[in-house]
Amino acid sequence: MNNAWKAVVVLTTFIAAAQCLTCKQCPVGIFGTCLFGKEVQCANSTESCYTGEAQFNVTGSLTLHIRGCLDSDLCGKTLTGSLFGAGYTSSFVCCTTNLCNGATSVQLSLTVALCAAILSSLWGLWEL
Protein backbone atom coordinates (compact mmCIF):
# COMPACT_ATOMS: atom_id res chain seq x y z
CA MET A 1 0.00 0.00 0.00
CA ASN A 2 2.90 2.36 0.76
CA ASN A 3 4.21 1.98 -2.81
CA ALA A 4 0.77 2.84 -4.18
CA TRP A 5 0.78 6.16 -2.30
CA LYS A 6 4.27 6.97 -3.58
CA ALA A 7 3.11 6.26 -7.12
CA VAL A 8 0.09 8.55 -6.68
CA VAL A 9 2.26 11.38 -5.32
CA VAL A 10 4.78 11.06 -8.17
CA LEU A 11 2.01 10.90 -10.79
CA THR A 12 0.28 13.94 -9.30
CA THR A 13 3.55 15.88 -9.33
CA PHE A 14 4.10 15.09 -13.02
CA ILE A 15 0.54 16.07 -13.92
CA ALA A 16 0.83 19.36 -12.03
CA ALA A 17 4.17 20.13 -13.68
CA ALA A 18 2.75 19.31 -17.10
CA GLN A 19 -0.07 21.83 -16.62
CA CYS A 20 2.35 24.74 -16.16
CA LEU A 21 2.80 26.78 -19.33
CA THR A 22 5.96 27.65 -21.19
CA CYS A 23 5.92 31.32 -22.19
CA LYS A 24 8.13 33.82 -23.94
CA GLN A 25 9.66 36.22 -21.44
CA CYS A 26 10.74 39.72 -22.30
CA PRO A 27 11.44 41.81 -19.20
CA VAL A 28 12.34 44.90 -21.28
CA GLY A 29 11.16 45.59 -24.81
CA ILE A 30 11.55 49.01 -26.34
CA PHE A 31 11.28 50.32 -29.90
CA GLY A 32 10.25 46.87 -31.17
CA THR A 33 13.30 45.13 -29.69
CA CYS A 34 13.21 42.67 -26.81
CA LEU A 35 16.25 42.74 -24.54
CA PHE A 36 17.11 39.68 -22.46
CA GLY A 37 14.35 37.53 -24.05
CA LYS A 38 14.04 33.82 -23.29
CA GLU A 39 11.52 31.03 -22.73
CA VAL A 40 10.36 30.38 -19.14
CA GLN A 41 8.21 27.82 -17.36
CA CYS A 42 5.39 29.38 -15.32
CA ALA A 43 5.59 28.65 -11.60
CA ASN A 44 2.12 27.14 -11.20
CA SER A 45 -1.07 26.26 -13.04
CA THR A 46 -2.81 29.53 -12.03
CA GLU A 47 -0.46 31.56 -14.23
CA SER A 48 -1.03 32.46 -17.88
CA CYS A 49 1.29 33.74 -20.59
CA TYR A 50 0.86 37.47 -21.16
CA THR A 51 1.90 40.40 -23.26
CA GLY A 52 1.82 43.78 -21.61
CA GLU A 53 2.52 47.42 -22.19
CA ALA A 54 3.64 50.06 -19.74
CA GLN A 55 3.25 53.64 -20.90
CA PHE A 56 4.73 56.51 -18.94
CA ASN A 57 2.31 59.40 -18.56
CA VAL A 58 5.00 62.09 -18.66
CA THR A 59 6.44 61.19 -22.06
CA GLY A 60 3.41 59.58 -23.65
CA SER A 61 5.62 58.35 -26.47
CA LEU A 62 7.74 55.86 -24.53
CA THR A 63 6.02 52.49 -24.24
CA LEU A 64 7.73 49.45 -22.76
CA HIS A 65 6.61 46.02 -23.99
CA ILE A 66 6.86 43.07 -21.62
CA ARG A 67 6.02 39.35 -21.82
CA GLY A 68 6.12 36.42 -19.45
CA CYS A 69 4.01 34.54 -16.89
CA LEU A 70 1.34 36.35 -14.89
CA ASP A 71 -1.21 35.35 -12.29
CA SER A 72 -4.48 34.87 -14.17
CA ASP A 73 -6.28 37.29 -11.81
CA LEU A 74 -4.40 40.20 -13.46
CA CYS A 75 -5.33 39.23 -17.03
CA GLY A 76 -7.27 41.91 -18.87
CA LYS A 77 -6.63 44.48 -16.14
CA THR A 78 -5.17 47.96 -16.44
CA LEU A 79 -3.02 49.13 -13.54
CA THR A 80 -1.64 52.56 -12.71
CA GLY A 81 1.21 53.55 -10.45
CA SER A 82 4.43 55.50 -10.29
CA LEU A 83 8.07 54.58 -10.69
CA PHE A 84 10.71 57.06 -9.52
CA GLY A 85 8.02 59.75 -9.43
CA ALA A 86 6.82 59.15 -13.00
CA GLY A 87 3.27 57.89 -13.40
CA TYR A 88 2.58 54.92 -15.65
CA THR A 89 -0.31 52.85 -16.96
CA SER A 90 0.14 49.16 -17.70
CA SER A 91 -2.21 46.65 -19.29
CA PHE A 92 -2.02 42.88 -19.72
CA VAL A 93 -3.45 40.51 -22.34
CA CYS A 94 -3.22 36.81 -21.49
CA CYS A 95 -3.37 33.50 -23.34
CA THR A 96 -3.30 29.91 -22.12
CA THR A 97 -1.30 27.75 -24.52
CA ASN A 98 2.45 27.14 -24.66
CA LEU A 99 4.39 30.03 -26.22
CA CYS A 100 1.14 31.79 -27.19
CA ASN A 101 2.68 35.16 -26.27
CA GLY A 102 5.45 34.60 -28.82
CA ALA A 103 7.57 37.59 -29.52
CA THR A 104 6.79 39.40 -32.72
CA SER A 105 9.75 41.67 -32.21
CA VAL A 106 13.41 40.93 -32.78
CA GLN A 107 15.13 39.16 -29.89
CA LEU A 108 18.60 40.57 -29.14
CA SER A 109 21.16 39.27 -26.73
CA LEU A 110 22.82 41.72 -24.38
CA THR A 111 26.11 41.42 -26.27
CA VAL A 112 24.52 42.27 -29.62
CA ALA A 113 22.61 45.18 -28.07
CA LEU A 114 25.78 46.61 -26.50
CA CYS A 115 27.74 46.21 -29.73
CA ALA A 116 25.01 47.99 -31.66
CA ALA A 117 25.02 50.85 -29.14
CA ILE A 118 28.81 51.20 -29.31
CA LEU A 119 28.85 51.11 -33.12
CA SER A 120 26.12 53.73 -33.35
CA SER A 121 28.06 55.96 -30.93
CA LEU A 122 31.22 55.57 -33.00
CA TRP A 123 29.28 56.27 -36.19
CA GLY A 124 28.12 59.56 -34.65
CA LEU A 125 31.74 60.50 -33.90
CA TRP A 126 32.79 59.78 -37.47
CA GLU A 127 30.07 62.09 -38.75
CA LEU A 128 31.65 65.02 -36.88
For the stretch 90-120, pLDDT in tens is 999 999 999 999 854 444 444 444 445 554 5
Write down the domain spans for the chain: 2-123
Report the C-alpha gap between 17 and 66 in whole angstroms. 24
User: What is 2-123's CATH superfamily?
Assistant: CD59 (2.10.60.10)
CB 82 within 8 A of CB 88: yes
State whether residue 53 is helix, strand or coil.
Answer: strand
CB 24 within 8 A of CB 107: no
For the stretch 53-84, pLDDT in tens is 988 877 666 788 899 999 999 999 999 998 78
**Can you give the pTM of this predicted structure?**
0.62
